[in-house]
Structure formats: C-alpha cells, structure tokens
Chains A and B, each alone.
Chain A
Amino acid sequence: MPLDTSTTYPLTRLRLDGRRWNELRLLQAQISTNPASSGSSYLAMGNTSIMCTVHGPAEGRRGEAGGGAGNAAGAVVEVDVNIAGFASVDRKRRGGGSDKQSSRIATTLKAAFQSHLHTYLYPHSTISIHVSVLSADGSLLAAAINACTLALVDAGIPMPGLLCGCTAGMSGSASTARDPKNDELDPLLDLSLPEEQELPSLTVGTTTAIPVGEDAMDDDEDETMKVSLLNMDAKVHYTYLETMLAVGIDGCTQIREILEGVIKGSNKIVVPRSDIL
C-alpha cells in the first residue's frame, strides 16, 4: 500500500488546516473533571470539544426497562448525547428533544459500550453516560468514543481495554472504482468538519491490543487489535475501503497512546506523534 508518501508529498497537498494526510489534530484530555459524578472527562480533538460524565453502576430508575425491573444478566448502558446550540458555526435553537444527529451518536455509543464493558459484573444496575458536545468540528462520534472511554476508566468500570475511535476519509473521486493505471490513493486521517462535509468518511473504533496466537505472548509490542465499531454514512467505492480502514486503525493506535498518557496522570498537552517529522 503506497501509504508513506511523505518524502515526495508536495507542500500544496497540505490540508485546509495545514495538516498532512496522516496527522491527527491536537488532542487534549483530562479526566476527573467533575467530582459530582462517578467518572468524568473532557476531551478536545482540534476544535471539537466534548465533556462526558458517567454515573453508576447504580440502581436504575423505576419503570424503566433496564432499571427497576432489572436485567439479571448485567448492567444496562444508557447514553444521552446533547449537542449544545452554540457548538457549531451557526447557532441552532432546538425544541427540547434530541435531533437526529445526536440520537444516532447516542445509539452507536450505547451499542458499542454495552458490548464492550464488563457489564455482567453489575446485574440489575444502570451505567448512564452523558455526553455534552461543547464545540463540533467534525469527528464527533470518534471524539465521543474517546471521551466516554476516559470517563468510564475514571469511574472504574471494568473493561477489556480502551476503546478508541478515529475517523478516516478519502479524498478524490471516491465514488468511482480505482483506476489501475493511475493508482494513487488520497486517504485522510481525523477529519475536520469542512472535510467531513465534502468527503466520504469512516469512523473506526478499536479496543486495546489483544495478542493473537501462541507466539504473541512473548512480546508485548507486536499486538493486533480488534475493531469493535465501524460506522460510515457516506457512499464510497469498495476498493477504497481497505485503505480507509488501515488509516483509521493507525489513527486509533496513536489516539490510544495519548489516552494512556492522560490516564497515567500526565494531564499535559500531548502533541500527536507524527511519523513524518
């Protein structure tokens, strides 16, 4: 795969915000931002900033499907996503209820974390996650996944590994098949809002590296990972999909390192690692 084009990449191919194709935006995060909740986090990926709080595992409210009646098999994950009216460029006034975009993010997050967390440890209980989008500049779902992971880690809810999300897009004529004569790929990592509106994008969520095979036990470095979330709203020709997926998974690995640093207490600004520099 001709992914490493760094040496021949011309300056004019920089993106709108000056990044190269495989650069993440500046990722800043904090955990334990809200002492009133079980776990909380603040995460900013570029100009997308998200606050997340986790309550529970607690007894669910009465009358709800997963609450008072109880789910004996394990805890129920509830996700509530609120996109602030001032989050995007033009102020949106909303009438109480959640709009289509936020309810889609909520459903995806709920499905992802319901199966990801060790919910079987907490029967008859509810883990409620509240996501507040303070500023929306693309990759909302990916940023929400990362913020939720940090908040759940802060809450001490057992999970098999960190669930990290990242977006990957494809610029160029992505709706037509690859031209075998002119085989150039233009994948992009971690899309911002202008890019997301123009280009097809894919959100990948991977869990922490899990070794496979017998020999994987020996070295901790060579680990593969499990894709546990994959979401694409746009149309793209299937020949590009593998490249986008590879770029997205690579972004998740970078994000994981940053999140691990945040969890380990270095609440400093972490500049994303760039392979080019």
Chain B
Amino acid sequence: MTLAIPGQRLGPTTSYTSGPGTHIHESSVYASITGTVQIEKSKTTPKSTVSVARGPVPSPSTSETPATKKYNTLPSVDSTVLARVTRVQKRQVTVSILIVEPPASSKTSNTTSNLSDSELAALLSTATNPENHSNSDDLRFPAIIRREDVRAVEKDRVVLDEMFRVGDVVRGTVISMGDQSFYYLSTARNDLGVVMARSASGNMMFPVSWREMRDPVTGLAEERKVARPF
C-alpha cells in the first residue's frame, strides 16, 4: 500500500495491465491520480492489474471485505431508496435520497444483503439526527414526491402536511429519472412510506396504523403515510 502521485511509473506493460486511475505511456503503466496502489492478480491472464484508488490508505480490517461497499450506487428507475424529507409543499414533497437499496434481482434471502447492519444503523442514525440535516443534504440526490404519487387510493384527497414532516425517513421507489435536478419518487404501495420519524417533541415514533405513528413518551399520535414494517 504505497501512495502514488500522477506521473509515477508503476511498472512495465509486459507484467501489468492498466487499471482504473492509471494510464499507459511508452510501454509503462503510470499513475494518473493520487492514491494508493493496488495490484490485483488476474485468473485468466498472467498479468496482474495495477490500479490507483483515491482516498486514504485502507486499514487491513476493511480491505478484507471490499464487497460491502456495493450500496453506493446511483438511483435508477424502479430502485427502492431511502430518502429524508427536506421540504413539504402543497403539491409536492422534496426529499434527498440517502441510500439506494440493491435491486430485487441481486437480493438474496436477506433484504439488505449488501449492507451490513452496523453501516445501515450508522447511516440512519445520522439521517434522523436534526443536526446533520443542513450540511449533508446538498451532497445527496434530490428527489420529489408529487401529491398524486403519495398513495394509491383517494389520490385527490391527499393533504401532504398529514403525510410527511421535514426530517422523516421515507422508503420510496423511483418512478422517473425526472428532470435535470430531481428524481421522482412514489410511495403508492403498502410497503412504502415513512419508516422513521420523530414527533413534535423530538422522540422516535412507532407505527400504529398505515396513517398514524405514536410517540412512546408523550403518547400523542401524529399522522404519517406509514410504510408497512417488514
């Protein structure tokens, strides 16, 4: 694990093939970005692939399980996402996508196979924490839930103030890549909707029915479009 800087010669092309972050010049492989050099042995060819990855030098414990990083993918149509509500308006709710769940085809018996429980817990705990809202929202994918996409029945009677509150974590499905700035989400299914919410007094609430959540401390109920728990 050595740090390469752009222009550093990594090896001859006779024994290495060029991976990400490298380029070939005059029959040698050179680094083209700054990062740690990784050499991967190929099963099919005798040459090993040399690549340069950005970021700090990974510790030995994390480098053993590189497969757990699969969740950092882009949302696509029909993918299920977890998003945090950032704004509630009359006609639409603006959310920012926190995480994209792996597609159904790659799912095994465990629904969050590619995501370790500790990582998911860490992500969601930061998501519902009010202090983390403003600084990280700009970096995530913004999305919109339109009023008619909130639920499948009585679409015209939907009042968005009774469905979502700013800060809620919502499970939704991507129905469209949308325009230049927003993905379009839908929660019009029983298993979609608010999964985590804090009450007005700031306590985590538990779901009571498909449209109600309750604060365990004060006992007060609040209206939400609740997702069916697994």
List residues of A whose CB falls within 8 A of some B CB.
Answer: 118, 153-154, 156-162, 207-212, 217, 220, 260, 263-265
Contacts and interface: CB of A to CB of B under 8 A. Distances in A.
A153 B34 contact: yes
Contact of A160 (B3, B21, B27, B32): B32
Interface stretch (B5-13, B78-86, B161-169): B5-13
8 contacts: A154-B34, A158-B21, A158-B32, A159-B6, A161-B6, A162-B7, A210-B7, A264-B3
Given A159-B32, A162-B7, 12 more contacts: A118-B32, A153-B6, A154-B34, A156-B33, A158-B21, A208-B6, A209-B7, A210-B26, A212-B26, A220-B9, A263-B34, A265-B3
Identify whether the interface residues of B are mostly helix, strand, loop, or mixed.
Answer: loop
Interface string B1-27: 001011111001000000001010111
Given A153-B33, A211-B28, A217-B28, A158 B5 contact: no
B72 to A, nearest CB: 16
A207 B32 CA distance: 12
B184 interface: no
Interface of B: 3, 5-9, 12, 21, 23, 25-28, 30, 32-35, 54
Given A118-B23, A264-B3, A161 B9 contact: no
Of B6, B26, B32, B34, most buried by chain A (CB within 10 Å of CB) is B6
A130 to B, nearest CB: 18
Contacts of B30: 160-161
Given A153-B5, A208-B7, A209-B7, A160 B25 contact: yes
Contacts of A118: 23, 32
Contact of A158 (B3, B23, B25, B26): B23
A217 B12 contact: yes
Nearest to A256: B7
Contacts of B3: 264-265
Contact of A157 (B9, B12, B25, B33): B33
Contacts of A159: 6-7, 32-33
Nearest to A209: B7
Given A161-B6, A210-B25, A210-B26, A156 B34 contact: yes
